[in-house]
Structure 1
Amino acid sequence: MEKHKGEKLEKFGLHIKKLRTELDISQDKVALNSDKLIKATISDIENGKRNLSFTTLLDLAKGLGKHPKELLDYDIDK
């Protein structure tokens, strides 16, 4: 994986983890609230190890109880 792409995935993962911890919910709870996600997938996303698809983004938003645009609302360049 390109270093630049990896950094982007890591930043996104940190953002998702921050959203989840601010909501005070576990990865297990996110998985239960979503349609198809499992805890391992959520962990991979939060750790910047997974380049997720659009449908996974939608499932993740559902699991967090957020609108998908909220998952993308962060400063990607910081």
Structure 2
Amino acid sequence: MVLEDFLRLTQAERAEHVWHFGSFLNICEDIGNLYDMDGFYAEVVYNHNLNEIQEVRAFQSIEELDPYLNQIKLGQL
């Protein structure tokens, strides 16, 4: 699936697609979980107070990876 098709899905359909086809990459506690979708990235934002997915966003821009890259500690590698 390409980004444009993914963005046409409902939030529930996006979450389902990420669950089945996404490859987990990283967590950013301030934003959510990052997944590789083979051509774009998906963020799953979870609301812990409501115990539900709040939003599923998608992007291709490398700049939007910065919050996740900042979570990587080189000493851990």
TM-score of the aligned structures, taking structure 1 as reference length: 0.31
Flag the structure with higher helix content: 1
More strand by share: 2
Q: Which has the higher contact order (CA 8 A, sep 6+)?
A: 1
Q: TM-score, structure 2 length as denominator?
A: 0.31
Q: Which has the larger radius of gyration?
A: 2
